[in-house]
Structure formats: C-alpha cells, structure tokens
Chains A and B, each alone.
Chain A
Amino acid sequence: MIYGRKRGILFFSVKPLLVVFFLLGCFLTVWLRSNITAVEYAIGDLEGEKMEVLKETKTLVAERAETLSILEVEEVAVKGLGLDFADRAKVVKVRRQGGNVPYEVSFRAKH
C-alpha cells in the first residue's frame, strides 16, 4: 500500500506567494527608485529657486547698502530735511543705565 504525504494548503500556496513577493519586490524597487528620482527633480527645482532667491538677495543687499550709505543719508537729512550736524559743545550726553526698560531724563540735578 502506498501512502502519499499529506499536502496542506501552504504547500500549494508557496509558489504563488513567491511569485507575488517577487513581483511585489520588483514593484517596490521600481516605485522607490521613481520616488527618489522625483525627489531629485524636486530638489533640483528647489535649488534653482534657491539660486534665484540668493541672486535677488544679493541685489537687495547691494541696493540697501547703497541707499543707507552715509553720503545718501546726509543728502536726505541736510538737503531734504534741513538738518545739520549738532554742535558738539551743546550736546547733552545721556548714558542709559540698566536693561531694556523705560527710562526718563531730566535736568533737575544739573549743577
């Protein structure tokens, strides 16, 4: 009498499962790779944008430096607003004490 070994459901599902895993692996690899490529495109685009922003920043920094040059400020202050350099002998100096808190100054104690 010949007895055959009992073959369970697992035996029959191993091969299809292996095929499924193989296909899934292939799919995941391709999917991951395509995602990486997409991210690389995105980084490339962002880098392009970054360079553009940097370019603009540099222009703005140069413009700001030019506008805030003392020569320009003096032009506006003296010619535009009619201001003048203070007479040093008439300037009262105030040295602020303490931290960043409101303070007041008076001549009450002037001797």
Chain B
Amino acid sequence: MSSRAVVLNTAVLFFFAIVVFRLADRMLLNYGSLSERAKSQHLKKTDIQVRRGAIYDRKGRELAVNLEVESLYCNPRDVGSPEETASLISGVTGMEYSSVLGRLKSAERFVWLERKLNTETADRLRDKGVKGIGFYPDAKRFYPKGSLASHIVGFAGIDNQPLEGVELQYDSTLRNKGGMLYVSRDAAGRPLSEGMEFESNGNAVVLTIDEGLQHIAEKELEGAWRKWNASGGSVIMMDPYTGEVLALANRPTYDLNSYGGSSASARRNRAITDTYEPGSTFKIVAAAASLQEGLAEPDTKFDCSKGYIEVGGKRIEDVHRSGVLTFKEVVQKSSNVGAVTMGLRLGPERLHEYADRLGFGHKTGIDLPGEVSGLLKSPKKWSGTSIGAVSIGYEISVTPLQMLRAYAAIANGGRLVTPHVIKEIRSPEGRLISRYKLASSTPVLSKETVTALMDALMAVTEEGGTASSAALQGSVVAGKTGTARLIDKNTGRYSTRDYVSSFVGFVPADRPRIAMIVTVFEPRGAIYGGVVAAPVFKGIAEKALGYLNVPVDEMRGKEVLVVRSGGNESKESY
C-alpha cells in the first residue's frame, strides 16, 4: 500500500471516529437534555379546555349552557405605544380608556385586559393586528332562561367556579378535571395534530324542575309580591309521592346572567334558608297527633264558644268567635281555641314527638346548598305557655319546604318524602349515568289519620272555610291557611304590622298530582293567608293542572269520546 493510501485511510478512519464519538455523545451521553430541547422545539404545551356540563329541566330544556368566548390579555413589554393601543382597545371593546392604559403600563409580563369577550368583538380586535395582545379561548356560562329558577340553578363565577345552587351542589359532576396536552408543531409553529380532544366536558345534570310549571309559579308569585308590596315570597311545587321539586320560586329574584348587580337578599333561596313561625298551617301537627293517638275523631266536638282559652296565664283568642266545633270544623275555620285544646290533651311530649315525626326541626335533605333545620325546642325547654303557642304554630320556626313536606305526607298516604331537585346525570353525549333513587320511607301517619285529615283540609277551601279563594273549578283543593306575626326586630316583640301569610295544600285532593306552598312575607294591605296566599295557590294550580293535562274531576271514569285509530273504534275513559 502506498503511503498516500495509508494517509487517506487514516484520515477517513479518523473522520468516522469523530462522527461515531459525536453520535455517541448526542445519542447516549447527553440523550436526556437534548431530547428535552428537541421536544420543547416541536411540541407545544396546550391547556385542555374544561367545560362545565349543561343543566337541563326535566324535559331536556337547557337551563345552563356554555358559550365559547375569548379572553383578552397582553404582555405590556411587547406593546408598542400604550396610549395608542389603549385607545384602540377601548374603542373596540367599550372599556374605559384609563383602565386599559393602566393595565398596559403594568410591570407584569401577563395582564388580563378583558375576560369573556364575545366572538364578534374579539374578531374585530384581532383584525386590527394590535401588537402585544393575545386571545385565550374561554367559556362563559350562559343561562338562557335568565332569572327563571335562579335559586335552583345557581351560577358560576368569572373563572367558572361554582357559587350557588345546583352549580355549587353538583360541581364535581358538572366539572371534569382539566390538564395539559402536547401538540406537535412544525418549524413555522403550525400544529400537527394526531386527532386529540382539546375539550373536556363535564356531565350534564337533568333536574326535576319543569320549565313550564316554574314559569307559572314565578309569574303568579311575581304578581302577588307586587300586589301586596311584600318584602319577599316563596312558592314550592312538589310531587307529593316522590319528593321531586317541580318548581321553586322566590321573590325578590335576580338574573343569572348578571348576578353581579343583584343584592344578597335577592340571591337568597328563602324557600329553604328562611325560617318563620308558621302559625295556623302548623295546626295539622296537633290535629294529626290527636287523631293518631285516639284523642279525637272527625266528629269529636270542641267547645270554642268562649272565643278564647288561657294557657299558662296567657289568653289565646280566636279571630272569630265560634260555638261548639267538630274536629273538621276546627281545621276548616282554623280555630286557635280548638287547636290549643288538642295540644293540651296531647301534652308537650306527644305534641313534640309528632312535630319531630313530621320532619320539623330537621333538614329535609334537599340537594341544594344552604338549607337550615328550623327550630323545634325540646319540651324540657318549654315554658308554661309553650304548649298553647306550639299548638297554633308559634315558638317554633320552619322553612316553607319543611311545611310542604309535612303536607305532602298527608297527600301521599302518610310517608315523609325527601325533596330533591336532581333527576338524572347524563354524560356529555347524553348517555344515562345515574338516576335519583327514591329512598324507602316508613309511614309516619296511619291511613285513617290521613283520611280524616284530608277530609278536614278539603273543607278549608269549601264555603265557610278560611281559604274558599283557593277553590278550583273542576278539582278539589285540600289545604290550610296560615297567618303569623313576625318578630319586630326593634322591640323584640310580635309585630302588629308585619305578618307571614301562607297557604299550603295539594290538588286534586283525592288523587294529588301536586303539593304546593305559597308564602308571602310582610304583605301590605292584607295579612290573611286566605286573602294573600290562597289566590296565588289557586292561580298556579289552575294553570299547572292544565299544563299537566290533569282532567277535571267530573271527567274521570266517564267515556267521553270515540277515538278511532287505524279503523278500530274505542271508548276512552279517565
């Protein structure tokens, strides 16, 4: 071999040795750090967009959905002229110039300029090609029905964090965990996708609420609230057999899409968070206990002729003096004397026991945040006058929902149900994940007691009862009025001006489809439950039964039409 060939071979071998060494360095020794560098160059870290699940009413109508919007941010160091940029941005978005300018002059590297811009505004701003600003895809919770069912649906904040209602109670269902994913990109930064999901949707929640019934309840309550210039009001409509809340409305209320401007009072779910001394609607406790304990029968007579009764040195009077009343008439006319007489015969322990049995003093267990348990004192803490006061619904405090639940127990044959607003949970694609399971409950009242109570409650809406204004054409209403004084916060005594007027009942009485309570706080111009609340009950029940296609009582069992279908003639009956 010539010397030239030896030199050439040596040079080639040396060159290959360098290449091999360099490769070993890149591929074996510094593999980790170099591969990280490469990854950072061609992989882009992206947030998985977390979207809350939708909320529907029982018929699948949207109550809460998401809108895709964009949030505007800037890196103040990249902004050319802050003054010009601020002027441009405020011109397009309508934001205050000084506010934008202040943010553009910030020392931070990342500043939000405006959250949740609508698409049109974001597009207009993008077209201007402003330097130093950027857009971040975001979701805005939107409530298409505005203030409808606001106290049930609740709302989510600016960062989609839950703040009230179902949004808060079922947050873990509605919200999936987010995360990050890596997207490949080319040298120009264009994404190379392998088909991945950039969005993570939470499960959908289907409520027991019916938009139609809710609208009816809201409309009627609004009318009464305005008419009586009341400080507040509540309506709850429930299926007495299942505890499904069909409608729940409060006044004052607020728009879910602009909750920021609403007062704390408007956002309060009075139906479950406000307690009051119920007055006469509570008389069913003494009445039910008397029947169940065999101390009274439907035709048992009570002497109410004096028009008052003394308990512990305190005189309790009837609004209108009556003579001797039967058990049914005591309930029908809402006699205080009759109810106190029942209470005295029962004694504190038994009266307390039945109040406890009917759910007073306990949370109902509704799946909404903020429920309170009310107050039912132990008989040991009762004073000498307590037995009289408790018999007619004073010295105890209840929520409207607790009262409705007790009446629902009469409507359904004696069982205490658990009120609830959730019906189903579905996947984002609509697949059923879980359904509310009804808990089994033991009867708290016997069938005989329920039948006698129902009969008495039906008489309340008849001529001579305290709530003839709640009577419906075509269906019998069973219910009870309540008119109770509120405590004057200044004097600490019962007010002579401020009352709570209520009516609670169910309809149709013999086969109840809905149980409902109407509570009006501090009405002006009238105070009686039969005048203020009962007409609201009637207004809602009339429309609700029509909406639910409940035939009038006279139609039941009668063959009224011939329905011919596919050549076969048949008679229909209800």
Are A and B physically bound partners? Answer: yes
State A49–B184 Cα separation when bound (angstroms). 18
* Residues 90-111 of A at the B interface (beta carbon under 8 Å): 91-99, 101-111
Once bound together, how far apart are the Cα atoms of A39 and B122, in whole Å?
30
Q: What 5 additional pairs, Cβ within 8 angstroms, besides A106-B562, A109-B559, A110-B560?
A: A41-B192, A58-B66, A68-B61, A97-B568, A97-B572
Instruction: Identify whether the interface residues of B are mostly helix, strand, loop, or mixed.
Output: mixed
Which chain B residues numbered 116 to 159 have a C-beta less than 8 Å away from chain A?
Answer: 119, 142, 144-146, 148
Q: Contacts A43-B194, A74-B215, A105-B561 hold; do A88 and B144 have CB atoms under 8 A apart? A: no
Which of A5-13, A14-22, A24-32, A59-67 lies on the face that meets chain B? A59-67
Counting from the closest, the 8 A-B pairs by CB-CB distance are A65-B144, A44-B193, A65-B62, A40-B192, A55-B68, A98-B565, A103-B565, A66-B144
**Does B306 touch A at the CB level, under 8 Å?**
no
Q: Which residues of A contact B (CB under 8 A)?
A: 37, 40-41, 43-44, 47, 51, 54-55, 58-59, 61-62, 65-66, 68-71, 74, 85-86, 88-89, 91-99, 101-111
CB contacts (< 8 Å) of B196 on chain A: these are 47
Interface residues on B, range: 35 or more
A-B CB contact pairs (8 Å), 26 listed: A37-B186, A37-B192, A40-B184, A40-B193, A41-B190, A44-B190, A44-B192, A47-B195, A47-B196, A58-B65, A58-B67, A59-B68, A62-B65, A62-B142, A65-B145, A70-B211, A71-B215, A88-B546, A91-B546, A93-B555, A94-B572, A102-B566, A103-B566, A109-B559, A109-B562, A111-B560
Closest Cβ of chain A: how far from B177's Cβ, in Å?
A: 20
Q: Smallest distance from the beta carbon of B46 to chain A beta carbons, Å?
A: 11
How many angstroms from the CA of A5 to the CA of B45 in the assembled complex? 65
Contact B62 A99 (CB under 8 A): no
A103 to B564, CA, bound (A): 5
B contact residues around A102 at 8 Å (CB): 565-566
Q: At the interface, is chain A mostly helix, strand, loop or mixed?
A: mixed
B558 close to A (CB within 8 Å): yes
B191 at the interface (CB under 8 A from A): yes
Rounded to whole angstroms, the CA-CA distance of A55 and B53 in the bound complex is 15
**Cα A91 to Cα B66 with chains together (Å):** 40
- Contact pick for A65, options B61, B560, B570, CB 8 Å: B61
Contact across chains for A95 and B563 when beta carbons are under 8 A apart: yes
Complex Cα–Cα for A93 and B570 (A): 14
Taking CB as reference atom, which chain B residue is nearest A48? B191
Q: Write out, one digit per residue, whether chain B residues 347-390 have a CB within 8 A of any chain A CB (1) or not (0).
A: 00000000000000000000000000000000000000000000
Tell me, rounded to whole Å, the shortest Cβ–Cβ distance linking B403 to chain A: 27
Are B145 and A99 in touch, CB under 8 angstroms?
Answer: no
Whether A71 contacts B148 in the complex (CB less than 8 A), given A43-B194, A62-B62, A65-B65, comes out as: yes
- Complex formed: what's the CA distance from A40 to B43 in Å? 14
Q: How far is the CA of A109 from the CA of B144 in the complex (A)?
A: 46
Q: For the complex, what is the distance from the CA of A61 to the CA of B64, rounded to whole Å?
A: 11
